[in-house]
Amino acid sequence: MAQSTFDRRRVNGPEESFSPVFDEEDDAELGWTVKHGRGLADIRPIFLQPGLVSQANGSAYIETEKTKLACAVYGPRQSKTTTYSERGRLNVEVKFAPFSCVRRRSPLRDAEDRAVAIAVYQSIVSSICLELFPKSTIDVFIVVIENDGIEGCIASGSIAASTALADAGIEMLGLVASCSAGVRGDEIRLDPVEKEAAAADGTVILACMPALSSITNVYQSGRVSVQGALKCMELCQDRCIDVHAVMAQSLLSSRTSTG
Amino acid sequence: MDLDDLETGEYRLTCPGETITSAHDFMRGHGTYVDDELVIASVAGTVQRVNKLVTVRAARSRYNAEVGDLVVGRITEVQPRRWKVDANSRQDAVLMLSSVNLPGGVQRRKLESDELQMRTFFEEGDLLVAEVQAFFADGAMSLHTRSLKFGKLRNGQLVVVPPVLVRRLKSHFIALPCGVDLILGLNGYIWVCKHMQDADHGDEGFDAEAVYSNQNDEIDGPTRLAISRVSSIIRVLADHFVPLTDTLFLEAYNWLIEQEVNTKDLILGDLGDAMVAATCSVR
Amino acid sequence: MTGLSKVEISYIRSSLLSDPPLRADGRAPEDFRPIAVETGVAPLANGSARVSIGQPRAGRGHEAEGAGGGTEVVAAVKLEVDGVGDDEEGGKVICSVSCSPAAYPHLSSPALDDLQSDLTSLLGSVLSHPSLCPQNLVIVPGQKAWALRLDTIVFADAGNVVDCLMLACRAALVDTRVPSTRSVEYRAPGRQSGTLNEVPDDLMDVDQSRNGPSSMLETRDPSSAVDFELADYWDEGKVLESRDSWPVCVTLNMLPTIHFLDATSQEETAVPLRLHTMFSFPGGKPTSHGMRMAGAGTSDMTQIGLLLKHAEKYARNMWIGLEAKLAEEEARRSVKAREKFYGGRRR
């Protein structure tokens, strides 16, 4: 079953190990129909706190029910590479904590880390004024503490990264808000959790700058019709305006509290 | 194997390791080496004999520069007081800060601020046309853009062909009647651009804003079309390994206009063959 | 490609934004370079295909920098027998992309690895999606199934490598033949063989016969088959199910006012913002299997809506063209396979 590659730096457990099996209802249908106490167009309540990591130039911690992640921003600082670049560089790294998922994840980086990092990079790169930082690099480090669906991770990661960048005082064109949606048949549900996303036909993640009404990233996977995808994007964009208000509020209140 | 039968002008194909002749009778040139009193080929190509000199010219090789060659190059690095230029050769060529025209007069003395502001002249990725001035001890070319016809290139696009197809001509700046200028770099980089009027520059100074500017001029639709046509012609001729001369371009362009075809059809192969057949047979 | 100068980028962009839009090689914005598709290029694989966009010209090598050689990708499918986990149906698709260093001579090794893993995750997130898993990959229900490994190699990259990869993957998957298997059960000699298929008597005796649930705790319904064998038949196996759901990709490069397809490397450098759209047309209805935005730049809802409508149109054309070519290749292949099989037998 779960084959772990032999890791010389850690004490390895037994080669073959099996997770305990719980007597759980994991019927696919049920994953979609359970309402979780919110409407179809409601997203999970967001708790967003900037400035939590003191040694970073900027940071943010975001929590939406069962998705929790922390983001730290270092920079702009000197690029390590010798090649000259007129525009600044953005480097996004995502790490899933081994205890973040139902099955333990190996501490080594794998493909899923990189896929989430690329999606978050695409969401925020167009919002930063990189031409003001030649020869510099901005590092964004995201640690996922609890993971309830990859779509939620990407959306929350983008929100946290944008907030952390604002917390660090880096010049941006606007705050980036992000929202995900799941589609099953004709029904569209915003901010799906892992079970809902697994039961859905397809998912859409949208990242946009509500202040400028411009879209920075569209990520769709699974089977969706074109009209369905466009409808999802419109709903997400509407919801992003609310998310943006939350982000602005959290930044301003953290500023006023620190004076 | 006997070179006496080889008249000057005839050619013979050879490959590395093949013995050509005895070292006593002939001097060895490029593309050969001497081993045990025999002249042996070191590249695959044609054997050429000029009196007592035997050389083997490779069918396709990297560009070998000579002093006085005109090359089109791209800046790869900016270093203290010099730029490194990629000229499709074994090594990157070097363009010294003292070899470029500084704004404010052709004879202006170099200042401290020039060294710090080198990127205002050329930066990474810029294309320029220059002449080979000399060679360094390690074989790297040293370029200069001391004349007003050299310098940064704009208003056009680059086409890359094998260097062997560009012959040494009297002038490498060709102006076609359709409003398109060509700069044939001997290293295989060809710059196709809008026709430049020869402005009269005095000796007192020239407009630095213009020479080192990163702004293209206004180029209208027909000129862009002509540029794209000429680029396609060059690519097709290069694919068929036809040496490039200015008369060839004129004929090919006229043929293209007569046939009234879309430029993109040239890329699709058949039309290209037809064009090459039509133009090369006229020569 | 050591990069373009600012004036070159400005020239390419202004040509595209002019009226009518003009590209470096004279193509219209919706024109593709000639695409060549060939299947069955790897005889040892269960299915394979080679796709090249733009003719890769012989003897160009790195000199093709400015001339734009072609983008060439080879995809091959290998089926491996894999155990089935507790909660899995059986059968999965695993993709990988490997970029030959010859295709990217200017990239350093870590940058090449990054590019490889980016393309792998792009392809994997689309093709390994559970909704696209073919149903007929199960061998022995609950125990063994085929794991489909789809490996692609990029041999040359002159722009638009994602479209080329998806075309090659689709062609290789359609070309794949799953070997026919027969479930087999081991029984002690002398017993009635009442259940499954033929039981060759000379098969090895293993004390694993299960006539029924051996204990009350055994709640799973055990299929008595514990192994399988390959059938020897001329057609090399069955095709994968749901073949018309594997998508093709159309990449739209976005400028504020226009969009264009099939960018060369220079055009990709000059216009970095693009939208990869994956469409399939099962039964003629368009379904989107993935959308990815890449590159620096922003867009807005109206532009994306417009792009999606156009993308559907372009994808449909590409789909029809590819289907015709694949049908041709399939006819050719079955003739060849029949000849080979019967020709060998008669000797």
Q: Report the first-to-last Cα separation within chain A, whole angstroms.
A: 54
Closest CA to B71 of B189, B176, B181, B155: B189
H/E run at residue A135: none
pLDDT per residue of chain A (259 residues) written in tens, 0 to 9: 444 467 788 887 787 777 777 766 555 555 666 666 777 888 889 999 999 888 999 999 999 988 999 999 998 998 888 788 888 999 999 999 999 988 888 888 777 888 899 999 999 999 999 999 888 999 999 999 999 889 999 999 999 999 999 999 999 999 999 999 999 888 899 999 888 888 888 999 999 999 999 999 999 988 898 889 999 999 999 999 999 999 999 999 988 876 5
For residues C105-124, b (16+ Cβ closer than 10 Å) or e, as one string?
eeeeeeebeebbbbbbbbbb
Place of tokens 């045990």: B36
Report the domain count for chain C: 2
* Per-domain residue ranges of chain B: 3-58
Q: List residues bridging with C239 in a β-sheet.
A: C177
Closest CA to A158 of A219, A232, A200, A223: A219
CB pair distance less than 8 Å for C298 and A126: yes
B194 min Cα distance to partner chain C (Å): 11
All residues at 6 or more sequence positions from C260 whose CB lies less than 8 Å from its CB, including other chains: C16, C21, C23, C29, C30, C252, C253, C267, C271
From chain C, the residues in CB contact with A222 under 8 A are 129, 131, 289-290
Q: Report the first-to-last Cα separation within chain B, whole angstroms.
A: 34
- Rounded to whole angstroms, the Cα distance separating A17 from A103 reads 11
How does residue B266 score in pLDDT terms, banded at 50, 70 and 90?
Answer: low
Nearest chain B alpha carbon to C57 = B239
C309 plus C206 within the same structural domain: no
C255 plus C205 within the same structural domain: no
CB pair distance less than 8 Å for A218 and C86: no
C224 plus C239 within the same structural domain: no
From chain A, the residues in CB contact with B124 under 8 A are 83-84
From chain C, the residues in CB contact with B188 under 8 A are 63
A78 min Cα distance to partner chain B (Å): 18
H/E run at residue A142: strand A136-146
The CATH number assigned to the domain holding C320 equals 3.30.230.70
Three-class SS of residue B267? helix
Give residue C206's pLDDT: 42
B180 min Cα distance to partner chain C (Å): 15
pLDDT at C154 over 70: yes
Does residue A161 belong to the interface with chain C, where contact is any CB pair within 8 Å? Answer: no
A39-253 maps to CATH 3.40.50.880: no
Does residue A84 belong to the interface with chain B, where contact is any CB pair within 8 Å? Answer: yes
C64 min Cα distance to partner chain B (Å): 7
The set of chains that have 3 or more CB pairs under 8 A with B is A, C
- Rounded to whole angstroms, the Cα distance separating A190 from A214 reads 20
CB pair distance less than 8 Å for B158 and C12: no
Q: pTM of the full predicted structure? A: 0.85
Segment 219-238 of chain A within 8 Å of chain C by CB: 219-226, 229-230, 233-234, 237
C215 plus C341 within the same structural domain: no
- Rounded to whole angstroms, the Cα distance separating C294 from C266 reads 16
C90 plus C217 within the same structural domain: no
CATH number of B3-58: 2.40.50.100
Nearest chain C alpha carbon to A202 = C289
* Strand-strand pairing, C274-280 and C248-254: antiparallel
Give residue C226's pLDDT: 67
Give residue A3's pLDDT: 47
DSSP letters spanning C178-211? EPPEEEE----TTS---SSS---TTSPP-S---S
Q: H-type helices in chain A, by residue range?
A: 28-33, 111-125, 150-167, 194-199, 226-258
Where are the strands (E) in chain B, listed by range?
A: 12-14, 19-22, 27-28, 32-35, 38-41, 45-50, 53-58, 70-79, 82-86, 93-96, 127-135, 141-144, 151-152, 156-160, 173-176, 180-184, 189-194
Does residue C58 belong to the interface with chain B, where contact is any CB pair within 8 Å? Answer: no
Give residue C208's pLDDT: 42
Q: Residues C74, C41: contact at Cβ < 8 Å?
A: yes
Does residue A2 belong to the interface with chain C, where contact is any CB pair within 8 Å? Answer: no
How does residue C66 score in pLDDT terms, banded at 50, 70 and 90?
Answer: very low
| Torsion angles phi and psi, residue C18, rounded to 5 | -75, 175
pLDDT at C146 over 50: yes
Does residue B66 belong to the interface with chain A, where contact is any CB pair within 8 Å? Answer: no
From chain B, the residues in CB contact with C65 under 8 A are 160
* Measured torsion, CA atoms of residues B34, B38, B43, B45, in degrees rounded to the nearest 10: 140
How does residue B182 score in pLDDT terms, banded at 50, 70 and 90?
Answer: very high
* Average confidence (pLDDT) over B159-186: 90
Does residue C249 belong to the interface with chain B, where contact is any CB pair within 8 Å? Answer: no
Examine residue C267 and state whether it is found in any structural domain, yes or no.
yes
C69 plus C136 within the same structural domain: yes
| Torsion angles phi and psi, residue C284, rounded to 5 | 90, -10
Rg of chain C over CA atoms, in angstroms? 25
Give residue A73's pLDDT: 96
At B228, the amino acid letter reads: S
How does residue B23 score in pLDDT terms, banded at 50, 70 and 90?
Answer: confident
From chain C, the residues in CB contact with A219 under 8 A are 291-293
CB pair distance less than 8 Å for B76 and C4: no
Domain that holds residue C42: 6-179+235-346
Q: Which of A12-21, A223-232, C287-296, C303-312 has the lowest mean pLDDT?
A: A12-21
Q: Residues B51, B33: contact at Cβ < 8 Å?
A: no
A84 min Cα distance to partner chain C (Å): 12
* DSSP label of B140: -
Nearest chain C alpha carbon to B268 = C34
Nearest-CB residue to C300 (from A112, A214, A220) = A214
- Rounded to whole angstroms, the Cα distance separating C159 from C53 reads 9
* Per-domain residue ranges of chain A: 39-253
From chain C, the residues in CB contact with B161 under 8 A are 63, 67
Closest CA to C171 of C341, C333, C335, C336: C333
From chain A, the residues in CB contact with C310 under 8 A are none
Q: Residues A61, A160: contact at Cβ < 8 Å?
A: yes
Give residue C236's pLDDT: 66
Nearest chain B alpha carbon to C58 = B239
| Torsion angles phi and psi, residue C127, rounded to 5 | -80, -25
C211 plus C76 within the same structural domain: no
Segment 22-41 of chain A within 8 Å of chain C by CB: 26
Q: Residues B53, B27: contact at Cβ < 8 Å?
A: yes
Q: Residues B127, B74: contact at Cβ < 8 Å?
A: yes
A147 min Cα distance to partner chain B (Å): 43
